[in-house]
Structure 1
Amino acid sequence: MNFKEKIFSILSNKEFDNLTWNIFHDQIKNNITYKNYLQFLEINPFEIKNISEIPFLPISFFKTHRIFSSRTTDDYDIIFTSSGTTGIKSKHYVKNLNIYIDSIRNSFEFFYGPIEKFKFLGFIPTNRKDSSLIYMIKYLIQQTHKNGSHFIPYHNYKDIFSNQNDKNIFIFGLSFFLLDFIEKNNHLQQNMQKNESKNKVIIMETGGMKGKRKEIIREELHDILKKFFCVKEIHSEYGMTELLSQAYAKKNGKFQCPPWMKVYIRDPEDPFIHINNNKIGGIDIIDLSNYLSCPFISTEDLGKKINDNEFEVLGRMDFSDIRGCNLMTPHFLEC
């Protein structure tokens, strides 16, 4: 079944719930890995009555399996690979790249409006062709190249405020790249201060240090970025190789999801139970745009829900401290 049009036209919780049930039943029929996982857990999917009870597939399966909601596993448009510096990397076999493109645009415009009103600047290395993040930023830049959108090489700097007609500058940057840029160009802070009142600038950090620098807490990172770029708030993006949608935080690291994406927090003692707001646990995600792979993902990130619409990401889980994590991964399942 083609769910694409329905996913990006969701307007209510009821529509989300109805489509989630339809996609869940499609998964237990066509996703062999997910179906085997439920059998291993001895779960009868037809006895599940609430969406929060739907089992979430451990994200580690993307390291060991080709995750498809299809009987064929050799038909795909692109493979996105995680940026991990050690061990086996996750691979997301994307069967329909147009779904990712639609998710990029619809997710961004849900929070920020039409992409055509922005000049996008990418503070991010571009040497990886298998990165979903680079693909996303490249798409936004290509769609708005007439606005002057481009990637920024920090070793060959051009003033990002050189065009006084720029009104809406949107900077995407990996944390380590932004900090490297600031260190190499701190003499330019005066330029930022001069242009502070002339331009509307949004700075969005898109993740951690990726092994390139020592990790620092989000508040410290944001304080450094605010001071250099002369902005009041730092925005954040939450996405990953294994998903096709993104959540965004406009301030204070409080993320919100687009209408086809939902976050739950699982109990650190029992990974099959979801806990209430303001309690810390593992992040589980429903991303309906993932319907051709698996939309029910149990991540290795730690977080908490603030309310029904907002959540925080608090870091990576320490598996040595979580008793239930090994219950989630049956290692004998074949790829």
Structure 2
Amino acid sequence: MIHSNDIFTIASKKEFEKIALKVFRFQFDNNLVYHKFCTLLNKNKENVKSLIEIPFLPIQFFKSHKVLSSSETIQATFTSSGTTGMITSKHLVTDISLYEKSYRNAFSQFYGNIEDYCVLALLPSYLEREGSSLIHMVDDLIESSNHPDSGFYLNNYNELISKLIELDNSGQNVILIGVTYALLDLIELHQFQLKNTIIMETGGMKGKRKEMIREELHKILCEGFGVPVINSEYGMTELLSQAYSLGNGVFECPNWMQILIRDTEDALSYVKEGKTGGINVIDLANINSCSFIATQDLGKKNPNYSFEVLGRFDNSDIRGCNLMVL
């Protein structure tokens, strides 16, 4: 049996690999979808002996299958955003405390004590629908901050502008977490010069604006908020962990999460550091669903285990993994 303490106390890469292989064996035995996927690739508990031999489940399976490694009662169902008629991902969560431990520990690892901050959230497209894992996380961070001014803002931009200026001028440490298009809307209404505020973008134009490359986006946001760098969060519905960038688009993972970069033409092999490929995520907090996920994001890994997100696959299906007929 794998305990959450085993996951959240990982202190070395060697320990990470040991726990990851243990999680692989557990999920091979207990996750019907993942077991069948591994079997079709001729992978099993006997011939998988290292991280790079572990099969990664294409993320689209969360749209078409119940990806579960537990028979416990489902406590929460997180869903991805999508336009009307789109099939959305469903992440069935049997132990919500694992998610809460994951994001609380990760926040502490990268930013310190949540009570040192006032947390402001500008996440309109997430607030306006049910089942957002991001809203669950930010709502908890707002509550945990114990600051009377922490809270969500929907379309009340003028109120947010006043509050942000007031808090920043008072010397209060602030984190403004926002969806990209809403942050751009905000700086079109007011040009800031913030000294005590971290701006964290969660990505996504949600069809509201034209997508732009990160360098261009962050330059506009830095100028608009008057800050030297923009922080970013890399997470998704199908994960229970997030990576964070403290600036310049370079992300780092908490100790129980790791990134591998696969070859875009051969999904079962990996590219060297510095080369672009598909992002595979190991999220050991996903013990009750699947911890090994092949995403549709493109990125590259740096020598110090940090990584950059460079875009998405052009086509909706990940090449080299046409095993969706399970």
TM-score (norm. length: structure 1): 0.91
Aligned residues of 1:119 and 1:166 also touching (Cα < 8 A): no
1:264, 1:285 within 8 Å by CA — same for their partners in 2? yes
Residue of structure 2 equivalent to 1:134: 135
1:328, CA displacement in angstroms?
Answer: 1.5
1:329 pairs with 2:322: yes
User: Who is 1:178 aligned against?
Assistant: 183
Task: Say whether residues 1:45 and 2:58 are aligned partners.
Answer: no
> The residue matched to 1:19 in structure 2 has which SS?
helix
Aligned equivalent of 1:18:
18
Distance 1:146 1:155, change over 3 A: closer
Q: Does residue 1:303 correspond to 2:303, yes or no?
A: no
Asked whether the equivalents of residues 128 and 134 of structure 1 are also in contact (C-alpha less than 8 Å), the reply is no
* Residues 82-106 of structure 1: CA deviation (Å, up to 9, x unaligned): 0122621100001111111111111
Task: Give the drift of 1:4.
Answer: 0.7
Read off the aligned partner of 2:109 and give its amino acid letter.
Answer: F
Call closer, same or farther: CA 1:208–1:250 in 2, change over 3 Å. Answer: same
Aligned twin of 1:67 = 67
Which stretch shows the higher mean deviation, 286-295 or 38-47? 38-47
Query: Where does residue 161 of structure 1 map in the other structure?
Result: 165
Contact 1:202 1:234 in 2 (8 A): yes
Give the whole-Å Cα distance in 2 for the aligned partners of 1:327 and 1:268: 8
Correspondence for 2:95: 96
Give structure 2 stretches of 5+ with no counterpart. Answer: none
- Give me the whole-angstrom Cα distance separating, in 2, the residues matched to 1:251 and 1:146: 25
**CA shift for structure 1 position 211:** 1.4
Kept in 2, the 8 Å contact 1:204–1:236? The answer is yes
Contact map agreement 1:38 1:45 (CA 8 A) in 2: no
Task: Using the TM superposition, give the Cα deviation of residue 77 of structure 1 relative to its aligned residue in structure 2, in angstroms.
Answer: 0.6
Pairing partner for 2:260 from 234, 240, 264: 264
Q: Is the 8 A contact 2:2 2:23 kept in 1?
A: no
1:78 matched residue in structure 2: 76
One-letter code aligned to 2:26: D
| Aligned equivalents of 1:148, 1:80: Cα separation in 2 | 27
Amino acid at match of 1:20: A
In structure 2, C-alpha distance between the alignment counterparts of 1:18 and 1:50, rounded to whole Å? 9
* Aligned length in residues: 319
**What secondary structure does 1:209 align onto?**
coil
Asked if 2 retains the 8 angstrom alpha-carbon contact of 1:118 and 1:147, the reply is no
TM-superposed deviation, 1:145: 3.8
Contact 2:79/2:90, CA 8 A, preserved across alignment? yes
Q: Distance in 1 between matches of 2:18 and 2:310?
A: 31
Whole-angstrom distance in 2 between the partners of 1:144 and 1:238: 21
Cα distance between partner residues in 1 of 2:157 and 2:280: 41
Between the aligned partners of 1:149 and 1:6, the Cα distance in structure 2 is 33
Letter in 2 for 1:284: N
Query: In the TM superposition, what are the counterparts of 1:141-290 in structure 2 within 5 Å?
Result: 141-158=142-159, 159=162, 160-163=164-167, 164-183=169-188, 185-186=189-190, 189=191, 192-193=192-193, 196=194, 199-290=195-286
Determine the C-alpha separation between the residues in 2 that align with 1:36 and 1:43: 10
Aligned to 1:32: 32
CA positional deviation for 1:18: 1.4
In structure 2, the CA distance between the partners of 1:22 and 1:123, relative to structure 1 (3 Å rule), is same
1:166 to partner: Cα distance: 4.2
What amino acid does structure 2 have at the position aligned with 1:300?
Q
Indicate if the aligned counterparts of 1:110 and 1:258 stay in contact, CA closer than 8 A: yes
Greater CA deviation, 79-88 or 17-26? 79-88
Asked if the contact 1:77/1:97 (under 8 Å) is kept, the reply is yes
Q: Is the 8 A contact 1:235 1:248 kept in 2?
A: yes
Measure how far apart 1:147 and its partner are: 4.7
| Gaps in structure 1 of 5+ consecutive residues | none
In structure 2, what is the Cα distance between the partners aligned to 1:232 and 1:291? 38
Identity of aligned residues (%): 46
What SS does the corresponding residue of 1:252 show, helix, strand or coil? coil
Alpha-carbon contact 1:119-1:149 (below 8 Å) kept: yes
Residue by residue, what CA displacement relative to the aligned partner does 1:191-212 show, whole Å, maximum 9, x if unpaired? Answer: x33xx4xx41100110120112
Partner of 1:108: 107
Classify 1:315/1:49 alpha carbon distance in 2 versus 1 (closer, same or farther; 3 Å).
Answer: same
Q: In 1, are the aligned partners of 2:117 and 2:147 still within 8 Å (CA)?
A: no
Tell me whether 1:314 sits opposite 2:310 in the alignment. Answer: yes
Instruction: Work out the CA distance in 1 between the residues paired with 2:63 and 2:238.
Output: 10
Over aligned residues, Cα RMSD in angstroms?
1.7
Which region of structure 1 is more displaced relative to structure 2, 146-155 or 270-279? 146-155
